């Protein structure tokens, strides 16, 4: 008999399955543009941020490791899609800035995925999509709180 816990587990499994298919579909759609889903994620995070971000903020916002995002950012920089600016808040953590080439690449990616976006919107419906966003946002808050509480416990005790 289903209960709240199994509902949460079913939702988590659905999110995992959807995430995997979203990445695979994204790779398929943006490969002809010379991009990967990971590159597109970072470019999109920069496009929709009101301010330039350091790598650690991009990673935190996307739920990824800083190291994984740093690898992508370095590849994007090699290809001229992002550049770096000094960060007035932190000397070593440069700000990642989208270049014109990066903006053009993310725009092309969005154009490539637009027909799929429309099909999903038409078949799922805007209200259900908005509900899903609210649900996932609420879950992300809870998960972040759990991770924040667990982080100090994961550190070794220097006095042990």
CB 42 within 8 A of CB 33: no
b/e map 89-126, b = 16+ CB within 10 Å:
eeeebbbbebbeebeebbebbeebbeeeeeeeeeeeee
CATH of region 26-114: 1.10.10.10
Sequence-distant contacts of 82-89: CB under 8 A, at least 24 apart: 82/42, 82/43, 82/46, 85/52, 87/54
Both tokens assigned to 47? 């496009």
pTM, entire model: 0.82
Residues of the chain with pLDDT under 70: 1, 152-160
pLDDT at residue 91 in the model: 80
pLDDT at residue 92 in the model: 84
pLDDT at residue 1 in the model: 61
pLDDT at residue 152 in the model: 67
Domain ranges in the chain are 26-114
Both tokens assigned to 27? 């790779």
């Amino acid at each position: 008999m289903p209960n709240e816990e199994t509902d949460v587990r079913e939702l988590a499994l659905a999110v995992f399955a959807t995430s995997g298919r979203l990445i695979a579909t994204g790779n398929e759609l943006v490969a002809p543009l010379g991009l990967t889903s990971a590159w597109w994620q970072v470019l999109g995070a920069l496009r929709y941020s009101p301010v330039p971000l350091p790598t650690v903020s991009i990673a935190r916002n996307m739920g990824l490791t800083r190291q994984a995002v740093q690898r992508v950012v370095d590849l994007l920089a090699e290809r001229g899609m992002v550049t770096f600016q000094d960060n007035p808040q932190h000397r070593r953590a440069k700000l990642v800035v989208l270049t014109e080439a990066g903006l053009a690449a993310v725009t092309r990616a969005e154009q490539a995925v637009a027909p799929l976006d429309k099909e999903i919107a038409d078949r799922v419906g805007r209200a259900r999509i908005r509900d899903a966003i609210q649900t996932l946002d609420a879950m992300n808050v809870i998960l972040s709180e759990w991770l924040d509480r667990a982080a100090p416990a994961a550190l070794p005790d220097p006095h042990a």
